Amino acid sequence: MKDHQEKQPVCFHCGNEFSDGVSFFVEWKNEARVCCSQACADTASQIIEKGLGDFYCLPRPKISRNKKKGSCCCCSSKSVHEVEEAYFSHTLSENISESFLFLPGLHCSSCAWVVERALKQLTGVVEVGVNALTRRVSVSYKKDKLKLDAIIQCLAEIGYPAEMMEYNELDALRKKERNTLLKQILVAGFGTMQAMMFALVIYVSGENELDQVTLSFFKWLGFLVATPVVLYSAKPFFKGAFKAINNKNLNMDVPIAISVFLTYLASFYQAISEGGEVYFDSVSMLVFLILLGRYLELLSRHKAQSSLESLSKASKPFVERKNPQGEFELVRVTQITAGDVIRVKQGEQIPVDGILLSENLDVDESLITGEFDIQRKIAGTPLLSGCLVKNEAEIRVEKSSEHSFITALQSLSLKAQTSKVQLVQEGEKTASQFVLAVLCFTLLTVAGWLWIDPSKAFDAALAVLVVSCPCAFALATPAVITRSLSVLSAKGILLLKPDALARLLTVDTFVFDKTGTLTDSSVDLACCFRDMPPEIVFKLAASLSQDSQHPLSEAFLSICDKELLEVSEQEFLNGLGIRGVIDGKQYFLGRPDFVVKDAYQKQEGVVLADELGVLAVFKIKESIRSGASELMQELDRQGYKRLLMSGDGRERVSQVAARLNFGVAWKARQLPWEKLQQLETLKQEGHKVLMLGDGSNDAPVLAGADVSVSFASAAELAKSKADVLLCNEKLMDIVYLSDVSKQAKHILYQNKQWAFFYNMIAVPFAALGMVPPWLAAIGMSLSSLFVVMNAFRIGARRAQKEQKKDFQWV
């Protein structure tokens, strides 16, 4: 850590190293601290001002660096309208409302700490609940003292942009499910410990050391503590088994329920008849261990489900509609009908298909068509829903929400998704088959002993039942899945559908989208005039680009984001460019025909000019994302087939394909359904496909692919169809993902082998009556422990290496 610091400064706020020299300062505890950007410095000073500076003492993982300027400061948060507030909050009591917010940037307990403190400082806040696992915050507040707007503003100031969430009944249901299971685990745990204690007395006492009365006293004590375990804690197994038998199928619950029920009943019989061994300790432990596995599974399933819901629910269901009086009012998107006039603002998505009424509008269609250029639309042109708008405009609605393009894409995706083959829970199947085999073996044992020596039949059968351990089988899968999920999420890889891990193993073909997935847009200096040094040119351009959401502005800022000059009278001119005053001189940045009305008019690209004329011309180019070529090399090395599918034009796609060595495996000008068709063809040829994409136009393919991967910054529709989200936007994370899935498979295989061999060895001995109850109990717990410990090896090798670099603790 120390040598890192000497080489490169580390940002005080986000903890990232930054090499580009210039830094921003914020004062904390009477010392100046360096920050990598203005946004970080602003956020830090807000946190310190609120008296929450202790945040910086807490251990934190790195906050992903805000690439976009201003994306984490207050200017980007939109104000919340009353209509929205009424929709997104539900009333708890007369004057108190509760709202649910989704904070994508909340990743650790330190974040939770600062968010909770900051919100509690607001007057009117009654209660704050922060859940760092699901990244959700619930706030209840007094309606007359505080508005939702102020809450979101406050969160934005300290660097956590929030999205409003609809109240979700599922959350409450899940909480109930989790709490019930926790209670059942506790009862099982307490029962097991007590039962073991009483059983120990019987185990350690030698022959005739205890009189018959004391011995049966302890047996009855065992019965007493095991009864709540079987009747209360084991309820989920009995319920599940009953349901499965009713539906005439077999799940893991059936053998567990039979095993628990028979062992308990037989031990009870032994206690009454004052003969033989009792297994109250083993039966309690069986229930306890399997419940623990269930709980782990439940936690990871809930986490994945709620992140998935956050993604699909956080989109904005409101839009501004012009009423007959000519004023705009907020209404739900579903209320819009053809003929209405709506208004969209910079950075928003067009909610429904329509026709442009305003003079002109720049739209980013890349998420819909894969087209990389910003399209300039003039009044009267039709607009597709799902495009991002770059300036404010009025639109006449042509089709209602349900008939719009974006909805069509959605239903196409839904169709593709249902055609996905449901993966059978293979682990459950083999395990339940195995346990049924054991039950048959128990019957055989009984039959065998009845023939040889009927008095021993009952004891031996009971021993077989206890020794054969369904625990190791039942725990193998949840332990492996839980461990894999936590290893992956520590790396910023979010598994939205845990079974994707198993599907990932079969993948042999990778399909890539181009724009936004493998490429970024960037600008290049074509020529300078009047001896301007390039650094100054870029600095001027980047300064003018501040606060603009145009992708090219981001491209300028990514080249130069330090020591930006102060811009006054900054003006964004609808799709033409930016005008601003720097150091008393007026500058323009934008389209050639906007900047100057002379010979450069025909020139493509972007021009920087002052009042005297053109200063520089920039070329727009597409650059390969970092990590893309490494990823391709790695995939080639491992022998995967790759394919590039893009909605963009032939020339651009072929260039990228050539640079990334795709050979002939690329398709240009693909519409969403054509992409889906390509995918179907691949699948019919027997290929298993992984799709990586970020646009709404990729959504049907993402939904239909065997495994789909998307980025945290992707279009909402694409994200909601993805199995896996890469939060750090690193392409190489895919390789890590596939490594973990391979490791998980290997460990799962080992675990099953272990459970199998353990049983193969132990069961015959039990059948011969050679395993005393204490040995059965030890064997069962050791085999379960082995399975769980083995699962911890997943990601361990890499984790050690990583730990030296940065400290992750979520």
Chain residues binding other proteins by CB under 8 A are: 5, 9-10, 12, 23, 29, 31, 33-34, 54, 56-59, 108-109, 112-113, 129, 131-133, 175, 179, 182-183, 186-187, 190, 194, 214, 221, 224-225, 810
Closest distance of CB 214 from other proteins, Å: 7
* CA distance from start to end of the chain: 20
> Smallest gap, in angstroms, from Cβ of residue 508 to other proteins?
37
What is the spatial distance between Cα 399 and Cα 383, in angstroms, rounded to a whole number?
Answer: 11
Q: Which is nearer to other proteins, 211 or 531 (CB)?
A: 211
Measured from the CB of residue 810, what is the shortest distance to other proteins in angstroms? 7
Q: Min. distance of Cβ 413 from other proteins in angstroms?
A: 33
Alpha-carbon gap, residue 104 to 159, rounded angstroms: 11
**Which residue lies nearer to other proteins by CB, 118 or 703?**
118
Quickly count: other Cβ atoms within 10 Å of residue 308's Cβ: 19
Name 231's Cβ contacts closer than 8 Å, sequence gap at least 6: none
Q: What is the DSSP string of 454-501?
A: HHHHHHHHHHHHHHS-HHHHHHHHHHHHHHHHHHHHHTTEEESSTTHH
Structure tokens at 741: 């899935």
The span from the CA of 414 to the CA of 311, in Å, is: 16
Reference 437, options 759, 116, 131; nearest CA is 759
Q: In the numeric block, which tokens belong to residue 320?
A: 């501004």
Burial 21-49 (b: 16+ CB within 10 A, else e): eebbebeeeeeebbbbbbbbbbbbbbbbe
| Phi (first) and psi of residue 378, to 5 degrees | -110, 165
> Which is nearer to other proteins, 24 or 405 (by Cβ)?
24
Contact indicator for 427, 477 with CB cutoff of 8 Å? yes
Largest Cα–Cα distance of the chain, in whole Å? 112
Taking the least distance from each CB to other proteins, the nearer of 228 and 347 is 228
For other proteins, the closer of residues 437 and 490 by Cβ is: 490
Query: Which CB sits closer to other proteins, 2 or 597?
Result: 2
CB 28, min distance to other proteins, A:
8
Cβ atoms 543, 729 nearer than 8 A: no
CB-based contact 108:128 (threshold 8 Å): no
- For the CB of residue 662, give the shortest distance to other proteins in the complex, in Å: 43
Compare residues 179 and 337 and give the one whose CB is closer to other proteins: 179
CB of 33 to other proteins, least distance (A): 7
Q: Give me the least distance between CB of 66 and other proteins, in Å please.
A: 19
Of the candidates 281, 283, 277, the one whose C-alpha atom is nearest the C-alpha of residue 264 is 283
Q: SS3 string of 717-759?
A: HHHHHCCEEECCCCCCHHHHHHHHHHHHHHHHHHHHHHHHHHH
Please state the closest distance from residue 500 (CB atom) to other proteins, in A.
Answer: 23
Minimum CB distance to other proteins smaller for 295 or for 786:
295
Nearer to other proteins, 57 or 612 (CB): 57
Tell the smallest beta-carbon distance from residue 228 to other proteins (Å). Answer: 9
- Output 183 or 429, the one with its CB closest to other proteins: 183
